[in-house]
């Protein structure tokens, strides 16, 4: 759903052909579907810019991943980069200025990294985040400002590398309140309230509403209430 838009959203559907997914614009109030982008047959995923325009397509060509881009929301896509299967490429979205893409890959590195990618030239112009021992996990991007706030690595536990001071404080606070890895599932429009879930071996998934201003946390639910924490065993990661 494009920010500020309450009655329209982009959805993927294989309505036209069962084997491929096209992009449709859904009007929520009346259920109207309008075809936005037709899949040529090999596109696995689509990426929109911060204005909701479909500007990137990731396609499978054999075992390779081909990244195709365009300037606006119409016209043909141009193949700008091809990654081998072992380079594990994936697009995570546009930066705050809709100028560069955040692309994950392991091109030229032993572990996968997050790179600033030029959609015009297909070049990785700068490696933004990389761990020397573990693959890159995911970027943390503000839905409000579209700025990169930090990244996540999945090591023996979920590890945050936060560059935004306010979010860094929030993560530290949340980690102190409950055992397990912290997952921010969603936020409100102003990004002042978070839906937060914890993943612990003996308490998988308890979910809370967190108020960043007051520090208050209200319990919402457990997704698997039949799993009783007192009956589950704790686990500790090991390295060797």
> Among candidates 138, 21, 49, which has minimal Cα distance to 90?
138
> Among candidates 100, 159, 86, which has minimal Cα distance to 128?
100
Give dist(CA 239, CA 235) in Å, integer.
13
> Among candidates 42, 148, 39, 37, which has minimal Cα distance to 92?
148
pLDDT of residue 2: 73
pLDDT band at 1 (very low <50, low <70, confident <90, very high): confident
The two tokens of residue 73 are: 């929301």
Average pLDDT over every residue of 232-237: 89
pLDDT of residue 151: 97
The two tokens of residue 208 are: 């809370």
pLDDT band at 6 (very low <50, low <70, confident <90, very high): confident
Distances (CA, A) of 188 to 94, 122, 148, 195: 21, 34, 18, 9
Give dist(CA 206, CA 165) in Å, integer.
26
Percent of the chain residues topping a pLDDT of 90 = 92
Beta-carbon contacts of 168 under 8 Å, excluding residues fewer than 6 positions away, are 150, 160, 162
Give dist(CA 54, CA 56) in Å, integer.
6
Average pLDDT over every residue of 104-113: 96
Average pLDDT over every residue of 120-129: 97
The two tokens of residue 58 are: 């990731």
Tens-place pLDDT, residues 28-52: 999 999 999 999 999 999 999 999 9
Average pLDDT over every residue of 174-203: 95
pLDDT of residue 4: 73
pLDDT band at 239 (very low <50, low <70, confident <90, very high): confident
Question: What is this structure's pTM?
Answer: 0.89
Beta-carbon contacts of 83 under 8 Å, excluding residues fewer than 6 positions away, are 64, 65, 66, 67, 89, 105, 107
pLDDT band at 240 (very low <50, low <70, confident <90, very high): confident
Q: What is the DSSP letter of 7?
A: S
């Amino acid at each position: 759903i494009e920010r500020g838009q309450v009655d329209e959203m982009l959805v993927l559907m294989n309505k036209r052909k069962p084997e491929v997914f096209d992009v449709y614009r859904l009007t929520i109030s009346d259920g109207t579907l309008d075809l936005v982008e037709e899949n040529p047959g090999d596109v696995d995923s689509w990426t929109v810019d911060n204005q909701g325009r479909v500007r990137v397509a990731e396609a499978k060509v054999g075992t390779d991943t081909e990244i195709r881009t365009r300037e606006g929301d119409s016209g043909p896509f141009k193949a700008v980069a091809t990654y081998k299967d072992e380079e594990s490429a994936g697009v995570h979205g546009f930066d705050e200025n809709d100028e560069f893409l955040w692309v994950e890959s392991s091109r030229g590195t032993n572990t996968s990294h997050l790179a600033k990618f030029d959609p015009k030239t297909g070049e990785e112009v700068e490696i933004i985040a990389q761990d020397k021992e573990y693959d890159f996990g995911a970027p943390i991007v503000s839905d409000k400002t579209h700025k990169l706030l930090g990244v996540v690595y999945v090591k023996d536990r979920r590890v945050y590398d936060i560059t935004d001071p306010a979010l860094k404080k929030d993560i530290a606070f949340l980690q102190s309140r409950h055992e397990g890895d912290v997952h921010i599932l969603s936020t409100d429009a102003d990004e002042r309230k978070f839906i937060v879930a914890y993943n612990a071996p003996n308490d998988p998934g308890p979910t809370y509403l967190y108020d960043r201003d007051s520090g208050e946390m209200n319990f919402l639910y457990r997704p698997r209430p039949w799993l009783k924490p007192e009956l589950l065993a704790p686990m500790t990661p090991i390295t060797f």
